[in-house]
Amino acid sequence: MDKQAIEEIKSYQTFLATLRLSPTLAHTKTIEMDLKGRLNPTNLLHSLFFEQKEWLGFQDFYQRYIIENEHLLRANFPEIDWEILKKGLEARLYRTQFGLLTEYHAYFACKCIFGSSSVMRDKELDKVGVDFQLSYQGEVYNIHIFVDTQRAWAFRKFKTENKSVEKVKGIHVNLPYSFKNNRFNSLKFLPNGFGIYTSHYLYYFKNELDKGNIKNNNIIATTLHGFVYLPSNMAN
């Protein structure tokens, strides 16, 4: 395993353990419109976490986002009362940040197993819907992180069929995580309740790569014990 990546993920998990989870914000969905361009919160998160190395808890991130984007927000959504907009955005940004933090953990964990030089993420990949790339055994794998639910699988299928993500060169791989217990891809929960990827799951993933089971977009579901693959005669 990559020793530098191990120290990196230890530091990251220490940060994750300091976060305060809010079920109320997680389930509030009053502002659901697309936030595009500069208003896309992933831009600020990437800049803070990977360029400035500034790991912020949610309230600090939320306040930073509002301060930096108030003018644009007011201009783009003049029909919504400012206080109502801020309240809705608070919940929206909470879900966005915590989802991305789980994605980032998968990225750091893959660096531990495959080596830092084999795993790459950047803003341009994120813009086209690839969470990070893995270079392994002469192939490039475009990794897609999402929660293992019927709704999330449907949205992933929609993106596959209707967006430019599939134009990115390489093998597209679905690597979903589950909040349910006793599944091969179940998250491990820190004392504060934040869920992180397990080495058990990622070594299973590596083993499936080594066996040659993973092809482009051929992971279509999961069971308790592993991936469900598209029949070989239907795979891309």
- The predicted pLDDT at position 217 comes to 93
In the chain, what is the greatest distance between 2 CA atoms, to the nearest angstrom? 56
Contact between 139 and 163 (Cβ < 8 Å): no
Choose among 133, 184, 129: nearest CA to 155. Answer: 129
Of the candidates 93, 75, 126, the residue with the CA atom closest to the CA atom of residue 26:
93
Domain with 135 in it: 3-229
Distance CA 212, CA 77 (A): 49
Number of domains in the chain: 1
Residue 150 lies in a domain: yes
* % of the chain beyond a pLDDT of 90: 81
Q: Which of 87-101, 107-121, 163-177, 181-195 has the lowest mean pLDDT?
A: 163-177
Does residue 158 form part of some domain? yes
Confirm if 125 and 211 have CB atoms less than 8 A apart.
Answer: no
**Residue 50 domain-assigned (yes or no):** yes
**Domain membership flag for residue 74:** yes
- Residue 234 within any structural domain of the chain: no
Q: Whole-angstrom Cα distance, residue 78 to residue 105?
A: 37
- Tokens at 193, concatenated: 């309740």
Judge whether 167 lies within some domain.
yes
Kindly report, residue by residue over 113-146, the tens digit of the pLDDT: 999 999 999 888 888 889 999 999 999 999 999 9
- Does pLDDT of 44 surpass 80? yes
185 within a domain of the structure (yes/no): yes
Residue type, 134: L
Let me know if residue 235 belongs to a domain: no
